[in-house]
């Protein structure tokens, strides 16, 4: 009998139901992975009992609601009991799969589908068994696109007689859907829900939809795991790069300090000895502290130790002025970020100036940013020297690169200079960096 105009045929209704079912499976996977606790459970390879219970409850509750929607509204697409039980077992183990199966089958039993509960629980435990047999990476690699390579996998399986776990994972939902169809055909859909396909083509469509219903959430969750790992690797790479830049500045500082001491060994041996003692104390403190970020108060204490070394070398010719607002002292800055700026002012601004000079340190907060200025009244720089100052030497280029790596475009190092009047290095760091130290 031809279908009534304007209405869907049985095959169209079935295909539409299967498509909606897969969309709901994808939506459930996306919604769950957005919750931090659920995502953390996915990222862990070893899960404690509380985590497995949370996983099972998080997945089983909406699946149970879908079964209720099918029973009350005859909305067949909402029933994901088979797929969810298998997924829970594969990912979180047999007990989690059994719990999800129980939650999915319980309302069906209340409605008279007495085979639903043992079947769903059995699927969960069986999924957990296969998940224990399969390598963990093989489970996470199970993809909706497994169909595209099945012929090659079956050929390799037959030729090499080696287990292909992707084929095994493909056959698991196929087998259980066959089993459900067989049981429902034997005892009736009133006792065990199935899509009740008519003919070979519809049966194949139902089975393939079940495979996709298992593979889609796993693929979504695996993508979330990969994204998290990439973020973590990027953080580790960033930390390693910052550490490398920090390690670069320490030898540079040590080299210049030793050169200063070497120049005094013959003419002023007592001064050289005093410098060595101060340098030893400074290096000892730097070695004991491995923090990449410190408060401005701690950074200024390090600068005081460095200036104490330079004061012994230059004597009263080196003067230091500070204008530090109290609220700026708790701002978080990268460790050893100011020392190259102070060293640059002394080396290039004051060393060759007759009569010495003054180093001025100023710190304050403005418009949600921490501002630190290191200025000198030395010789200053010509415009062409100023243009290349941030890239020519190790110290300033290191500071500029560390700021870029740490803060991106949210921090700046600005140099201003006038010949014969001095140079000012202005450091601007966002105050939100306060959380970075922890």
The CATH number of the domain where 429 resides is what?
3.30.565.10
Distance CA 47, CA 173 (A): 24
pLDDT bin (cut points 50, 70, 90) of residue 437 is: very low
Least confident of 45-49, 85-89, 432-436: 432-436
If you search the block for the tokens 């093989």, which residue do you land on? 138
Residue that finishes a domain, picked among 179, 202, 225: 225
End-to-end CA distance of the chain: 73
Residues 200 and 61 in one domain: yes
User: What pLDDT score does 438 carry?
Assistant: 40
Average pLDDT, the chain: 84
Q: 248 lies in a domain?
A: no
Burial of 395 (0-12, 13-18, 19+ CB in 10 A): buried
SS3 at position 172: helix
Q: Please give the average per-residue pLDDT across 286-306, as a whole number.
A: 78
| Whether residue 157 sits in one domain with residue 62 | yes
211-225, 251-265, 279-293, 364-378: least confidently modelled range: 279-293
Determine, yes or no, domain membership for 213. yes
Domain count, the chain: 2
pLDDT tens-digit map of 240-272? 665 555 555 556 667 767 777 787 788 888 888
In a domain, 246, yes or no: no
Residues 125 and 221 in one domain: yes
**β-pairing, 357-366 with 369-376?**
antiparallel
Output b/e per residue, 9-44; b: 16+ Cβ within 10 A: eeeeebbebbeebbebbbebbeebbeeeebbebbee
Give CA–CA dist 86/100, Å, rounded: 9
Mean pLDDT to the nearest integer, 14-34: 94
Predicted pLDDT of residue 317: 81
Q: Are residues 212 and 268 in the same domain?
A: no
Quick one: 158 and 275 in the same domain?
no
- pLDDT category at 228 given cuts 50, 70, 90 is confident
Q: Are residues 217 and 324 in the same domain?
A: no
At 21 the pLDDT is 95
**130-139 pLDDT, tens digit each:** 988 888 888 9
* Residues spanned by the domain of 172: 10-225
DSSP state of 3: P
Identify the domain boundary among 175, 201, 225. Answer: 225
Alpha-carbon dihedral 172, 175, 180, 186, rounded to 10 degrees: -160
Within-domain flag for 124: yes
Q: What is the 3-state secondary structure (H, E, C) of 276-291?
A: HHHHHHHHHHHHHCCC
- Chain centroid offset of residue 46 CA: 19
Specify whether 26 is located in the same domain as 172: yes
Q: What is the pLDDT of residue 235?
A: 66
Residue 97 lies in a domain: yes
User: Do 279 and 213 have their domain in common?
Assistant: no
| The residue to which tokens 């469509």 are assigned | 205
* pLDDT exceeds cutoff 90 at 192: yes
Q: Give yes or no for residue 436 having a pLDDT over 60.
A: no
Residue 245 located in a structural domain: no
**Dihedral, CA of residue 310, residue 311, residue 313 and residue 318, to nearest 10:** 100
Q: Does a structural domain hold residue 242?
A: no
Q: How far apart are CA 69 and CA 176, in angstroms?
A: 23
Both 207 and 352 in a single domain? no
Same domain, 301 and 172: no
Domain presence at residue 328? yes
Highest mean pLDDT: which range of 43-47, 53-57, 254-258, 364-368: 53-57
Query: To the nearest whole percent, how much of the chain has pLDDT over 90?
Result: 38
Give the whole-angstrom CA distance, residue 344 versus residue 427: 14
Q: Between 74 and 291, where is the model more confident?
A: 74
Pull the structure tokens for residue 63: 């699946």
Amino acid 400: pLDDT: 83
- Quick one: what percent of the chain has pLDDT higher than 70? 87
DSSP secondary structure, 75-133, as one string:
-GGG--HHHHHHHHHHHH-HHHHHHHHHHHHHHHHHTT-TTHHHHHHHHHHHHHHHHHH
CB-CB neighbours of 48 under 10 Å: 10
Residue whose C-alpha is closest to residue 142's, from 206, 218, 228: 218
70 plus 130 within the same structural domain = yes
3-state helix, strand, coil in the chain (%, to 5): 70, 10, 20
Helix (H, G, I), strand (E, B) or coil at 209: helix
pLDDT at residue 289, as a whole number: 56
């Amino acid at each position: 009998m031809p279908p009534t105009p304007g209405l869907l045929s049985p095959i169209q209704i079935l295909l539409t139901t299967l498509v909606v079912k897969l969309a709901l499976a994808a939506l459930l996977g996306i919604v769950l992975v957005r919750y931090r606790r659920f995502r953390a459970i996915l990222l862990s390879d070893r899960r404690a009992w509380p985590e497995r219970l949370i996983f099972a409850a998080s997945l089983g509750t909406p699946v149970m609601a879908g079964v209720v929607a099918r029973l009350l509204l005859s909305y067949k697409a909402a029933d994901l009991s088979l797929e969810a039980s298998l997924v829970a077992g594969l990912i979180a183990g047999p007990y989690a799969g059994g719990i999800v199966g129980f939650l999915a089958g319980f309302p069906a039993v209340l409605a008279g589908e007495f085979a639903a509960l043992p079947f769903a629980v059995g699927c969960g435990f069986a999924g957990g068994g296969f998940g224990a047999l399969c390598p963990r990476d093989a489970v996470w690699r199970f993809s909706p696109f497994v169909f595209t390579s099945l012929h090659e996998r079956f050929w390799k399986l037959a030729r090499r007689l080696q287990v292909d776990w992707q084929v095994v994972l493909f056959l698991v939902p196929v087998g259980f859907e066959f089993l459900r169809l067989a049981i429902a055909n034997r005892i009736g859909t009133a006792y065990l829900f199935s899509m009740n396909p008519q003919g070979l083509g519809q049966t194949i469509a139902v089975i393939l939809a079940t495979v996709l219903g298992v593979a889609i959430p796993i693929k979504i969750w695996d993508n979330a795991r990969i994204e998290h790992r990439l973020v973590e690797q990027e953080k580790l790479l960033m930390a390693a790069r910052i550490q490398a830049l920090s390690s670069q500045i320490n030898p540079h500082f040590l080299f210049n300090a030793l050169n200063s001491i070497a120049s005094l060994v013959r003419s002023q041996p007592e001064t050289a000895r005093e410098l060595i003692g101060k340098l030893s104390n400074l290096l000892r403190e730097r070695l004991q502290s491995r923090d990449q970020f410190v408060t401005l108060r701690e950074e200024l204490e390090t600068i005081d130790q460095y200036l104490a070394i330079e004061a012994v070398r230059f004597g009263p010719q080196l003067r230091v002025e500070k204008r530090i607002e109290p609220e700026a002292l708790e701002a978080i800055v990268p460790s050893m970020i100011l020392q190259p700026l102070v060293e640059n002012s002394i080396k290039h601004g004051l060393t060759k100036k007759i009569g010495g000079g003054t180093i001025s340190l100023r710190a304050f907060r403005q418009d949600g940013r921490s501002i630190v200025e290191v200025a000198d009244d030395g010789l200053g720089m010509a415009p062409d020297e100023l243009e290349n100052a941030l890239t020519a030497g190790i110290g300033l280029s290191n500071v500029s690169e560390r700021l870029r790596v740490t803060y991106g475009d949210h921090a700046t190092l600005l140099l201003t200079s006038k010949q014969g009047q001095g140079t000012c290095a202005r450091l601007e760091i966002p105050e939100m960096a306060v959380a970075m130290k922890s």
